[in-house]
Amino acid sequence: MLRYTLLRILGAIPTLLLVIALAFLMVHAAPGGPFDDERALPADVEANIAAAYHLDEPLPQQFLRYMSGLLQGDLGPSYRYRDYTVAELIGTAFPYSLKLGALAMALALLLGVTAGTVAALRQGTALDKVVMGFSMTGISIPVFVIAPVLVLFLAVKLQWLPAGWSGTTGMSRYLLPVITLALPQIAYIARLTRASMIDVLSRDFIRTAYAQGLGTVTVVRVHALKPAMLPVLSYMGPAIAAILTGSVVVEEIFGIPGLGQFFVRGALNRDYTLVLGIVVFYASLIVFLNLLVDILYGAIDPRVRYQ
């Protein structure tokens, strides 16, 4: 297991380097610069600013300088937030994004696994068709469409929940963003759980459990649920990535002061280091979470052996 983990970490290094290189080239290829403003600066002032931030150097030299700082844990200063480094901005905003993503993932697992299990136990009935119909709808509609619809009905029409982050306190301001992020993942997890549970329930050891007089709830909870969760666990890596990237849009819609807002504003302001820092942070987090999912898969299924 240790050798497998080390190989996965080593294999992730080229992926991270490619992501960093592509992000670096894309932000520098965008028109404009981080210090462009409505009022043009004198040429000598622009030259001094470019020299101070090494923007007058050739692009390969800028990339090597950035990678050198990155290897030392330095994400660089923000070009727009002059008194902050990129690491400080990420440290301030990430707790909001983490809480939002964790709540959405927990809700998706709870409702998705429950709905998929119920649909599998009622296969072919009207309840099964309702669950699968909801799943197809949830998969088809993106979060930037779900968010305004939920705000219109739950916040504007019914006035049950706050429409945005500002002016509200407590957990109520998380409800609409969490529901928005969780709905597509509930749909995916419900479909995966249903298909896997139907397969597990048809196996010999389940029939043996029923023959011993065990009830349906006990059979599902003790014998069927664990093996049925393996496909769901495999999906957790992409699901977490989808929630993290989806939170960029959701945070901007609901005005949450998380990494999403910094990413959007950094892209609009050509804040190269801020955009690159968030991309590197997200890419590293996703690689780590996928590795964690692989390790948990082996812990849940003893038949898996990492050589």
Q: Please state, in angstroms and rounded to a whole number, the distance separating the CA atoms of residues 264 and 227.
A: 41
Q: What is the pLDDT along the chain (307 residues), one digit of tens a residue?
A: 677 677 777 877 888 888 888 888 888 777 766 666 655 666 666 677 767 767 777 888 888 888 888 888 888 888 888 788 899 999 988 888 888 888 999 999 999 999 999 999 888 899 888 988 888 888 888 888 888 888 888 888 888 888 777 767 777 888 889 999 898 899 999 999 999 999 998 888 888 888 888 888 888 888 888 888 888 887 887 788 778 776 788 888 888 888 888 888 888 878 888 888 888 888 888 888 877 777 776 666 666 555 5
In this prediction, residue 109 carries a pLDDT of: 92
Q: What is the mean pLDDT of the chain?
A: 82
pTM above 0.85, yes or no: no
- Identify the pLDDT of residue 298: 65
pLDDT at residue 158, rounded to an integer: 82
User: By C-alpha distance, which of 280, 289, 249 is closest to 86?
Assistant: 280
Task: Identify the pLDDT of residue 170.
Answer: 74
Q: Which fold has domain 90-260+289-300?
A: MetI-like fold (1.10.3720)
Which pLDDT belongs to residue 46?
A: 66
pLDDT in the model for residue 190 = 92
Helix then strand then coil, in percent of the chain rounded to 5, is: 75, 0, 25
- What DSSP string describes 2-61? HHHHHHHHHHHHHHHHHHHHHHHHHHHHSSS-TT--SSPPPHHHHHHHHHHTTTTS-HHH
Per-residue pLDDT tens over the stretch 183-217: 889 999 999 999 999 999 888 888 888 888 888 88
First to last CA, the chain: 7
The structure tokens listed for 189 are: 């997890």
Asked whether 104 and 186 are in contact (CB, 8 A), the reply is: no
What local confidence, expressed as pLDDT, does residue 193 receive?
A: 92
Identify how many contiguous H helices and E strands the chain contains and give both numbers.
Answer: 13, 0
For position 111, what pLDDT does the model report?
Answer: 93
Q: Which amino acid is at 61?
A: Q
Measured in degrees and rounded to the nearest 5, phi and psi for residue 124 equal: 85, -5
Is the separation of the CB atoms in 133 and 190 below 8 Å? Answer: no
Domain spans of the chain? 90-260+289-300
3-state class (DSSP) for residue 301: coil
